[in-house]
Amino acid sequence: MAEFDATTSRWGRLTMLIGLVFSLAGPLYLVFFADLGVTASALFTAFAAVAGTFFVLWIIEPITYFPILGPASMYQAFMIGNISNKLLPSALVAQDSINAKPGSHRGGLAAVMAICGAAFVHLLSLLVFVGILGTWLISVIPESVADVVRIYVLPAVLGAVIVQAIVSLKQVRATVVAAVVAALVQFVLVPLVPALGMAATAIAVIVTLVLVWFVRKREPAEPVAAEPSRPEST
């Protein structure tokens, strides 16, 4: 497992850097070579606007996903995307199917294989239902049905993820604390202080982490076995 972790970390960092280069190549070409008149101040203004909206997620998402996915799957997940509504449910179902505890080496390997399977199914589905049948499906699906799917499919998926996480982790205290804190933040704090709406997720996660740390079940430490005494030399 040590060799596996070292290999995945090395190649994970490399592939993430390659992905970063490719994702920035197009915008950088447009800025420096397409004569669009984009100024440095406009770039910093745009970055500030995006950072103000998503900065909290940049911190919260890795902290939230890492205990379940593990280090190897984190590289996969952030390269592929759709973590909360596709990859995380796949990892949880795989871990639960083989009774692997999230955060263990076995759970990490299950998450790796589950994400590979989810990515393959996703690409195959895109090829068939979007690339080949996309136009035809849009023409035959009633607009009312499409509207219902757009509204309810994400809550349905995330609701299933939450239930799967609760069943798999079996952490009653953490579940209760998380539910109470999320309800208080969403229905009490945000209405009282609307300016905190964008930070509601971060507040709920941080407060939950702190409270769960204090109310966690403290197991007694195992006694350390005394080393056998060595015979005195004569």
Q: Per-residue pLDDT tens for 154-194?
A: 788 778 777 777 777 678 888 888 889 989 998 999 899 88
Residues 203-229, mean pLDDT to the nearest whole number = 70
Lowest mean pLDDT among 64-68, 188-192, 218-222: 218-222
73, 98, 137 from 36: Cα distances, Å: 39, 54, 38
pTM higher than 0.85: no
Highest mean pLDDT among 3-12, 46-55, 209-218: 3-12
Higher pLDDT, 202 or 175: 175
Question: In 10 A of CB 181, how many CB atoms?
Answer: 21
Is pLDDT of 83 > 80? yes
How far is residue 112's CA from residue 108's CA, in Å, rounded to a whole number? 6
Q: pLDDT value at position 234?
A: 44
